[in-house]
């Protein structure tokens, strides 16, 4: 019996010794990043993938390694468009890189070259900068764990956030060129900014409110609805400052310490933006709070259901722009207006959807942030 155990132990040791050590060097970012079996294990323990136990989503690995957007990857002389691969690229525990149909056995000195989109060179802000910007404007501390920075040093008596769900930076530029958004265009050039991965509303809202990325605020999974980290709403509450959040028909994210108003689709036109606008104008009628937060969902809903660049989506963009025009007219003088998106949208061919987001592709990751001081 004892002999058998010894043989088993020796066999296990031999097998462990035979298992090839793998190491993947990721190039194309600021500096090469080495990802190996130990890094794999650490990330898998921190963020187990709900779909697979034996593999990490390569997109998650790239984000954690510091790549905020991806256009193409190359390995072993072959190049792959990220658009074709984002959902079928995995890195297994044993060091196999699965890229769609291709399976690449990694060795001790493998390299993956990452090409980010050219637009990355223009990125000058992050969704995590918005909470520090609000704090700076209103003269309160930034949320405790914020890593973002204030985008203006100026103070303001009020801040108005106009949150255009799913209206990415590239779509903004197309809409502006097409003449669909005269009111937005009149506010001046937007900052080219990045959202966080996964590029989805809950993760982006957590980053927006905390001023910190998912690894800090804890909202790394797109199903999480709450964060333990301090938010700008917590800070305002602590400072005795007022806020009013106008949301659509439900809260996608727990807005702790918000004074909020939901906007159901009372007229049954399958769009809550008209109700969000009416509720926002009603708030302004009653007196501007220190922070106003109006979340328009129409562009995102139309992007998913009918597709980006569908007639419905274009109508929602134009409607949001008209609504913005009405809001601006009623904002008190000196208000700092911040118009932004949480993520973008790209066309997909799926059974139930014409558009989606959530990846590291440029259409999903780049967002506009527009700062405007009301006269």
Residues that bind Zn ion (CB under 5 A): 300
| Nearest-angstrom CA–CA distance, 365 and 288 | 32
Considering the complex, what minimum distance in angstroms separates the CB of residue 301 from Zn ion? Answer: 8
Nearer to Zn ion, 71 or 300 (CB): 300
What is the bridge-based pairing of β-strands 336-340 and 72-75? unpaired
> In terms of Cα–Cα distance, which of 126, 150, 125, 128 is closest to 140?
150
**Contact of 197 with 180, CB cutoff 8 Å:** no
* Nearer CB in complex with Zn ion: 244/354: 354
Q: Nearest approach, Cβ of 325 to Zn ion (angstroms)? A: 24
Of the two residues 158 and 363, which places its CB atom closer to Zn ion in the complex? 363
The alpha carbon dihedral of 354, 293, 185, 371 has a sign of: negative
253 CA to centre of own chain = 14
Closer to Zn ion by CB, 59 or 300: give it. 300
Rounded Cα gap, residues 115 and 104, in angstroms? 19
Q: Which is nearer to Zn ion, 28 or 355 (CB)?
A: 355
Cβ 354 to Zn ion shortest distance, Å: 12
Shortest distance, position 77 Cβ to Zn ion, whole Å: 37
Q: How many CB atoms lie within 10 A of CB 84?
A: 12
Shortest distance, CB of residue 173 to Zn ion, whole angstroms?
A: 20
Q: Which residue is nearest to Zn ion (CB)?
A: 300
Shortest Å distance, C-beta 265 to Zn ion: 17
Nearer to Zn ion, 44 or 367 (CB): 367
In angstroms, the CA 110 to CA 120 distance is 25
**What is the closest distance, in whole angstroms, from the C-beta atom of residue 357 to Zn ion in the complex?**
6
Q: Which is nearer to Zn ion, 29 or 305 (CB)?
A: 305
């Amino acid at each position: 019996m004892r002999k058998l155990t010894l043989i088993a132990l020796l066999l296990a040791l031999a097998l462990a010794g035979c298992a090839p050590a793998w190491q993947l060097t990721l190039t194309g970012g600021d500096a090469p990043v080495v990802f190996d079996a130990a890094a794999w294990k650490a990330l898998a323990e921190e963020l187990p993938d709900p779909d697979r136990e034996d593999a990490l989503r390569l997109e998650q690995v790239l984000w954690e390694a510091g790549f905020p957007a991806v256009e193409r990857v190359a390995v072993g002389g072959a190049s792959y468009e990220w658009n074709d691969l984002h959902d079928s690229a995995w890195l297994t525990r044993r060091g196999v890189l699965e890229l769609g149909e291709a399976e690449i056995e990694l060795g001790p000195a493998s390299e993956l070259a990452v090409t980010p989109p050219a637009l990355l060179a223009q990125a000058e802000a992050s969704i995590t900068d918005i909470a520090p910007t609000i704090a700076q404007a209103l003269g309160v501390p930034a949320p405790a764990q914020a890593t973002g920075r204030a985008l203006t040093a100026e103070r303001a008596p009020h801040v108005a956030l106009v949150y255009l769900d799913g209206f990415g930076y590239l779509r903004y530029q197309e809409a502006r060129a097409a003449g669909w958004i005269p009111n937005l265009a009149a506010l001046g050039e937007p900052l080219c900014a990045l959202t966080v991965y996964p590029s989805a509303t809950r993760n982006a809202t957590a980053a927006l409110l905390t001023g910190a990325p998912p690894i800090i605020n804890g909202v790394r999974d797109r199903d999480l609805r709450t964060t333990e980290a301090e938010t700008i709403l917590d800070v305002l509450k602590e400072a005795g400052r007022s806020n009013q959040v106008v949301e659509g028909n439900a809260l996608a994210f727990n807005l702790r310490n918000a004074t909020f108003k939901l906007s159901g689709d009372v007229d049954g036109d399958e769009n809550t933006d008209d109700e969000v606008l009416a509720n926002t104008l009603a708030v302004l009628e009653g007196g501007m709070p220190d922070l106003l937060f109006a979340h328009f969902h129409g562009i995102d809903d139309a992007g998913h259901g009918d597709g980006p660049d569908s007639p419905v989506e274009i109508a929602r963009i134009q409607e949001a722009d008209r609504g913005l025009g009405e809001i601006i007219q009623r904002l008190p003088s000196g208000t700092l207006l911040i118009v932004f998106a949480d993520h973008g949208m790209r066309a997909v061919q799926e059974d139930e959807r014409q558009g989606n987001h959530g990846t590291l592709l440029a259409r999903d990751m780049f967002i506009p942030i527009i700062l405007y001081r009301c006269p």
